Amino acid sequence: MGVNLENLNPKVHQKIDERQLTDFDENEDVVDAFDEREIFDLIRNINDPEHPLSLEELSVVDQSLIEIDNVKNYVNVQFTPTIPHCSMATLIGLSIRVQLLRALPPRFKVSVIVTPGTHVSEQAVNKQLADKERVAAALENSHLVAVINQCVSEKE
């Protein structure tokens, strides 16, 4: 790493503040549904496969591009590759998918797509990420799983 970076000087963005917990959040008696901010918190610290930066710092993920419906049980996430021909797009999308599959209850249908108009192979990447059979096969590949685990593990 570091030698053949596709995007040598990515724009680094400001991180948002930590979420402030309220009394309401800590009250165990109220059912508090998942919201966009919680989904964002689950994926903002995923590491970029190339840079020592988080997906949030590279503006690959953004809270405004997350949609969740607790009644219909779906989560839709759009991610924005740093450059339109990023070869890591599928891997980044897969990392987001894996993180959400592991963290959310199984009732949720998770869809991860490229923000429209931000990647040259947008359709091919989206189709690959939506194919659960290919995702399942990829997750049986121990080398790939090791790379993804490295991406999703939070740095100190």
**For binding to other proteins (CB under 8 A), which residues are involved?**
106-107, 109, 127, 130-134, 136-137, 140
Smallest separation (angstroms) from other proteins to the CB of 34: 17
Residue with Cβ nearer other proteins (83 or 130): 130
Residue with Cβ nearer other proteins (41 or 122): 122
Q: Give the three-class secondary structure for 99.
A: helix
Smallest separation (angstroms) from other proteins to the CB of 154: 26
Smallest separation (angstroms) from other proteins to the CB of 94: 16
Residue with Cβ nearer other proteins (83 or 103): 103
Q: Classify burial at 13, counting beta carbons within 10 Å of its beta carbon; exposed 0-12, middle 13-18, buried 19 or more.
A: middle
Smallest separation (angstroms) from other proteins to the CB of 136: 7
- How far is the CA of 94 from the CAs of 21, 67, 129, in angstroms? 30, 18, 7
Say how far apart CA 57 and CA 127 lie, in whole Å: 26
8 Å CB contact between 145 and 153: no
